[in-house]
């Protein structure tokens, strides 16, 4: 499933705040951007695959009695471009617009600080709008300590994307630009020599952050880790399905051979009386079709129930289609027919004189 952002070719460097590097963000940005193979650099509060976010109570200005929970993500203006996030209406934040940056909050009680922000589609719907354009110029109020408020003017709406796994619902999210919340660097790269790029990146990093390891992570690997259990399950299911098909085919072939051996004289007499090879094959196929149909009647409802139970662990999931199960049953029947026909043809072509010689 598409997570809603481009995960390929992205490195993540965390813990800027823990390592005391927040004041060096501009310098780090400049230095890393000079590395051959690195195309974009953006600093943010959180990034995709982070197991946490920051959530606060907010209201629409003018509706103080209708509070709601809103997750917040502070980021540089290049964040949307780096992850290829798609706008639905309005515009994204711009680095050179002072109104697009949240200034330092005043210490004065009851003060109001203003800045522009962007919402995702889930947040748009939460505050009562059905179309992205309707949410533009809405002002949201975020109350902070000492009765101070931050008023966010909505200038854009972006498509939802999965900050976490698709097991979880997309949360209503407000995007704004405040360096005070930055803690993680996203690095977009494209290179044919990854090792050389990382070597140069580590040298540049050590120049601006001596003694602090780079400690990068590859975003695509982090995303894939979300679904490692599903990938293991898929491999197990495929392996067992192949083994089950092989064993059932061998068993059906053996059962056909056993039945044909027991009915050798019957088949021979039928041939003497004018039965064709196709008649013999049809007789054998009809005999073994009944247990295959019975097996499908038992197995398909169980498969439907198991698949429904597994899909229920995902917040976003496909709807099961009965056609898939019917096709699976038909495929099982075709495999059974091919197996039975392949041996029954051999039995039907046997010379009846050999079976009736001593009768």
Instruction: Decide if pLDDT at 143 tops 50.
Output: yes
The verdict on 155 and 23 lying in the same domain is yes
The verdict on 32 and 150 lying in the same domain is yes
The verdict on 277 and 178 lying in the same domain is no
What total of structural domains would you count in the chain? 2
pLDDT at 199: 94
The stretch 274-296 carries a mean pLDDT of 75
Quick one: DSSP state of residue 171? P
- Give alpha helix (H) positions in the chain: 25-33, 79-82, 121-126, 132-135, 194-208, 219-226, 228-262, 264-272, 277-311, 322-348, 352-356
- Summarize the chain as % helix, strand, coil (round to 5): 45, 20, 35
Instruction: Decide if pLDDT at 352 tops 70.
Output: no
Instruction: Decide if pLDDT at 168 tops 50.
Output: yes
The verdict on 277 and 350 lying in the same domain is yes
Q: Per-residue b/e over 108-125, b at no fewer than 16 CB within 10 Å?
A: eeeeebebbbbbbbebbb
Q: What is the Cα–Cα distance from 64 to 159, expressed in whole angstroms? A: 27
Instruction: Decide if pLDDT at 358 tops 50.
Output: no
Q: What is residue 169's three-state secondary structure?
A: coil
Say if residue 331 is exposed, middle or buried (CB neighbours under 10 Å; 0-12, 13-18, 19+).
exposed
Domain range enclosing 247 = 228-356
The verdict on 149 and 55 lying in the same domain is yes
Instruction: Decide if pLDDT at 139 tops 90.
Output: yes
Q: And the tokens for 243?
A: 């083994």
For residues 57 and 280, the model is more confident at 57
108 pLDDT band (50/70/90 cuts)?
A: confident
Instruction: Decide if pLDDT at 311 tops 50.
Output: yes
The verdict on 297 and 209 lying in the same domain is no
Instruction: Decide if pLDDT at 351 tops 70.
Output: no
The answer to whether 181 touches 79, Cβ cutoff 8 Å, is no
318 pLDDT band (50/70/90 cuts)?
A: confident
pLDDT at 271: 65
The stretch 241-264 carries a mean pLDDT of 73
The answer to whether 151 touches 105, Cβ cutoff 8 Å, is no
101 pLDDT band (50/70/90 cuts)?
A: very high
Task: Kindly report, residue by residue over 32-42, the tens digit of the pLDDT.
Answer: 999 999 999 99
Q: What is the Cα–Cα distance from 182 to 184, expressed in whole angstroms? A: 6
Mean pLDDT of the chain: 85
228-262 vs 277-311: helix crossing angle, rounded to 10: 160
The verdict on 163 and 273 lying in the same domain is no
Could you tell me whether strands 112-120 and 87-90 are parallel, antiparallel, or unpaired per DSSP bridges?
A: unpaired
pLDDT at 329: 83
The verdict on 219 and 235 lying in the same domain is no
The verdict on 165 and 45 lying in the same domain is yes
Specify if 75 maps to a domain: yes
């Amino acid at each position: 499933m598409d997570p809603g952002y481009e995960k390929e070719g992205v490195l993540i460097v965390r813990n800027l705040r823990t390592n005391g590097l927040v004041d060096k963000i501009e310098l780090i940005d400049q230095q890393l951007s000079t590395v051959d193979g690195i195309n974009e650099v953006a600093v943010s509060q959180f990034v995709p695959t982070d197991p946490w976010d920051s959530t606060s109570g907010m209201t629409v200005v003018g509706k103080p009695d209708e509070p709601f929970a809103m997750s917040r993500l502070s980021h540089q203006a290049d964040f949307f471009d780096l992850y290829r996030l798609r706008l639905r209406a309005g515009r994204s934040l711009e680095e050179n617009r002072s109104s697009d940056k949240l200034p330092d909050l005043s210490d004065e009680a009851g003060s109001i600080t203003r800045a522009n922000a962007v919402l995702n589609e889930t947040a748009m719907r939460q505050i009562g709008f059905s179309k992205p354009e309707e949410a533009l110029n809405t002002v949201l109020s975020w109350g902070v300590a000492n009765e101070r408020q931050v008023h966010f003017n909505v200038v854009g709406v972006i498509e939802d994307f999965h900050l976490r796994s698709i097991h979880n619902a997309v949360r209503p999210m407000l995007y704004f630009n405040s360096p005070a919340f930055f803690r993680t660097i996203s690095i977009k790269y494209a290179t044919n020599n990854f090792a050389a790029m990382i070597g140069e990146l580590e040298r540049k990093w050590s120049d601006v952050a001596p003694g602090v390891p780079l400690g990068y992570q590859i975003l695509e690997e982090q995303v894939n880790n979300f679904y490692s259990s599903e990938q293991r399950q898929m491999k197990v299911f495929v392996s067992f399905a192949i083994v089950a098909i092989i064993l059932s085919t061998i068993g059906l072939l053996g059962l056909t051979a056993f039945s044909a051996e027991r009915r050798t004289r019957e088949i021979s007499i039928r041939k003497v009386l004018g039965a064709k090879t196709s008649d013999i094959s049809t007789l054998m196929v009809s005999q073994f079709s009944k247990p295959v149909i019975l097996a499908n009647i038992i197995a398909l409802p169980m498969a439907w129930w198991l698949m429904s139970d597994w899909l229920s662990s995902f917040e976003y999931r496909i709807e099961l289609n009965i056609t898939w199960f019917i096709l699976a049953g038909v495929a099982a029947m075709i495999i059974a027919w091919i197996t039975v026909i392949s041996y029954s043809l051999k039995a039907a072509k046997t010379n009846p004189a050999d079976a009736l010689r001593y009768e």
